[in-house]
Chain A
């Protein structure tokens, strides 16, 4: 079919005609973040520092961090819509030092599950907006408040969605890795009362003079579940 002529696509308030590259004949585009209005985009981190354990933790199964929507955090916007949390990135970092008697391996596994069973230390008054005009986030981060402290995750998936493993020799060291990254497959969409828990396990013994510090960091959007702004 023959072309019907040429037309120019112009902008909205700007009224500027869109450009086409001279040689590649490609339209120019600029990538913008997800439209989250009237909610927001957020980044937060929580840290556990344990300078001396009170005892050994062997083959420990203890939850170290939690990304959670609490039951009272359903944010109602406009015509009764509720909030979806779009998890973009989840990162764990860990250091170990002091007197380390046993080399070991450490796993961090990230699971999706249901409502938190409580416990741990929450970042209770977050001001994590990436744009200060956005409301405070409905989601929150929490971390265990003791070396083997519990931040419970109920009805977790049987398989983790992120798993990293690393060697922890007696010389001490640092470790940092992504547990989730939306770049290729899009965000993880968390409905009301859905949680993300990170579980730390090890095959070795932690001595009473061994020190650890870990941090869990996340970035996420919050959007309306229903409405023309969202389509999620």
Chain B
């Protein structure tokens, strides 16, 4: 990346800094949660059948292992193939602290490129599910990405276009489990913030399990015969926020030219 003017020198690091700050989990930030996770939660109502509608926010129960920080299985490296390990060397992540903001080539940080799937789940903002007869829609507050999970019976494409957020189909496995399969991801995306690479053979399976009225557990299964020696799995935990509405965030509009403070 060429840096020509003083303004570029000033704004580009500022963007990295800002995006890092916003995108990084802030453990201290939970200090003023009223009551919060340490208290027993009242019993929840049962989940409605075949219904994921609403605004969901990541909320990992205390003591439960889940994805966090920069990668899907903190402390356990991804099961990369030799090809995957080689590709990883070229991905200079700032979120792991291995590279500075000036050194990183993370496309999300330096260009506001779409994060892809399932990396989009790392952004600490809610998503909303909207169900229509032909497709279940997943809208992310972060950069208002929209995913369509076609439920009209079509098959997963065997020769998909490589899209930033992939090509998805969905089906109900039972009244509380919705399974989404996604293939065909743009090669410029990483599958986590640590720079874990993927090939055009990546398939992501998400099992949305609504375990009660206001709790969703989401199993991620990442399979890529070229990049991953075996499936890489993780589970996320989400809470329904009935009084929340998504606002607007534009990475390109809000972050790239933010002068900092």
Do A and B originate from a single complex?
no
